[in-house]
Amino acid sequence: MAALPRLVCASSVVLVVWAGFCSAVCVEVPSETEAVQGTHMKLLCISCMKREEVTASTVVEWFYRPEGGKDEPIYEYRKTNHEFPSRFSGRLQWNGSKDMQDVSITVLNVTLNDSGIYTCNITREFEFEIHRPLFTSSRRIHLTVVEEAGEDFTSVISEIMMYILLVFLTLWLLIEMVYCYRKVSKAEEAAQENATDYLAIPSENKENCAVPVEE
């Protein structure tokens, strides 16, 4: 179940990389929302800037809110990385890009208690000649952690196609076997009929059937 969005997200990330090489285009891709216990989970947070806005100082703040709880700071980037004391201590890894358009983090060794709402706040101060405008944006990720990976949608489709193919091949083999059996049976029946007709000919006529030898 989680594999389909994972697949879509992976292809989207490839698109982002490809676009970055080709035309310096930034695409805001949503993060995955389901993780498996014991794995690493990248919380994707992308905030695109226009070409003329690339020169800017950026501050990134990550918050976590458990079910029924309040937002608590867990990570911050302000020229340098800073991890706040929390349940994630030692388990957070910065995955931001150099241009600060991708400000993602990764949660290492995800646990069931890591389910909740993650908020990524981005504050940019653009460095124009006349003024220095300040812009803020925010991204929220509702993360659910499961004990085991759900059934892969693509694998389900593959299994269905495999069963259909097996049924088709089985039917085709049965049809071929029946066809070959009937063909052999007809050949045997024709041979038996020829033998019966030959035996039914009188002996004197059989001698006449011999081909005369020219001297």
pTM of the prediction? 0.58
User: Per the structure block, which two tokens stand in for 5?
Assistant: 């969005």
Provide the pLDDT for residue 197.
66
User: Per-residue pLDDT for 170 more than 60?
Assistant: yes
Q: What is the pLDDT of residues 49-86, one digit of tens each?
A: 876 666 788 999 999 999 889 999 999 999 899 999 99
% of the chain exceeding 90 in pLDDT: 40
Q: What is the DSSP letter of 128?
A: -
Q: Rounded to whole angstroms, how far apart are CA atoms 63 and 155?
A: 35
User: Per-residue pLDDT for 128 more than 50?
Assistant: yes
Q: Which listed CATH number (3.30.430.20, 1.10.357.10, 3.10.450.50, 2.60.40.10) goes with 27-148?
A: 2.60.40.10
User: Per-residue pLDDT for 134 more than 80?
Assistant: yes
Average pLDDT over residues 109-123: 95
User: Per-residue pLDDT for 199 more than 90?
Assistant: no
Q: Rounded to whole angstroms, how far apart are CA atoms 186 and 192?
A: 10
Domain ranges for the chain: 27-148, 150-179
In degrees, to the nearest 5, what angle opens at C-alpha 75 toward C-alphas 50 and 147? 105
Q: Rounded to whole angstroms, how far apart are CA atoms 199 and 111?
A: 88
User: Per-residue pLDDT for 186 more than 60?
Assistant: yes
Phi, psi of 51 (to 5 degrees): -55, -45
pLDDT classification of 160: cutoffs 50, 70, 90: confident
User: Per the structure block, which two tokens stand in for 76?
Assistant: 């911050």
User: Per-residue pLDDT for 209 more than 60?
Assistant: no
| pLDDT mean across residues, the chain | 80
Q: What is 24-88 written as a DSSP string?
A: -----PPPP-EEETTS-EEE--B----GGG-SEEEEEEEEEE-TT---EEEEEEESEEEE-SSTT
Average pLDDT over residues 20-41: 77
CB–CB of 83/93 below 8 Å? no
Q: Rounded to whole angstroms, how far apart are CA atoms 83 and 61?
A: 10
User: Per-residue pLDDT for 90 more than 90?
Assistant: yes
pLDDT classification of 4: cutoffs 50, 70, 90: very low
